[in-house]
Amino acid sequence: MPIEIPDVRESFSQAIYTVTLGATRDGGGTRTKVVTVGGEKALPFHHFEGEIPHPPVVAMEVWDVPPEDWPDPVRMPFADVMGSLGEWARKCVEEHGADLICLRLVGCDPNGEDRSPEEAAAAVKEVLTSVGVPLIVWGCGNPEKDNEVFPVVGEAAAGENCLLGTITQDNYKTLVAVATAYKHKLIAESPVDINIAKQVNILAMDAGYPLEDLVIYPSTGALGYGIEYVYSIMERARLAGLGGDKLMAQPILCDIGREVWGVKEARAPREEQPEWGDAELRGPLWEATTAYMYLLAGADILVMRHPEAVRAAKRAIRMLMGEEQ
Site residues for other proteins per CB under 8 A: 194-196, 198-199, 202-203, 205-206, 236-237, 240, 244-248
Nearest to 197 by CA among 163, 154, 227, 241: 241
Q: How far apart are CA 308 and CA 169, in angstroms?
A: 35
Task: Name beta bridge partners: 165.
Answer: 138, 187
> Which residue lies nearer to other proteins by CB, 80 or 206?
206
> Which residue lies nearer to other proteins by CB, 34 or 211?
211
89, 127 Cβ separation under 8 angstroms: yes
> Which residue lies nearer to other proteins by CB, 31 or 238?
238
> Shortest approach of other proteins to residue 217 CB, angstroms?
16
Q: How far apart are CA 286 and CA 271, in angstroms?
A: 18
In our burial notation (b when 16+ CB lie closer than 10 A, e otherwise), range 1-31 reads eeeeeeeeeeebeebbbebbbbbeeeeebeb
Contacts of 76 (CB under 8 A, 6+ apart): none
> Which residue lies nearer to other proteins by CB, 245 or 265?
245
> Shortest approach of other proteins to residue 243 CB, angstroms?
9
Pairing state of beta strands 100-104 and 57-63?
parallel
> Shortest approach of other proteins to residue 225 CB, angstroms?
24
DSSP 3-state helix, strand, coil percentages of the chain (rounded to 5)?
Answer: 45, 15, 40
> Which residue lies nearer to other proteins by CB, 15 or 279?
15
174, 147 Cβ separation under 8 angstroms: yes
> Which residue lies nearer to other proteins by CB, 140 or 200?
200
Q: How far apart are CA 66 and CA 75, in angstroms?
A: 10
CA distances from 44 to 32, 159, 251, 273, 321 (A): 28, 31, 11, 36, 10
> Shortest approach of other proteins to residue 205 CB, angstroms?
8
> Which residue lies nearer to other proteins by CB, 92 or 233?
233
> Shortest approach of other proteins to residue 206 CB, angstroms?
7
> Shortest approach of other proteins to residue 194 CB, angstroms?
6
> Shortest approach of other proteins to residue 240 CB, angstroms?
5
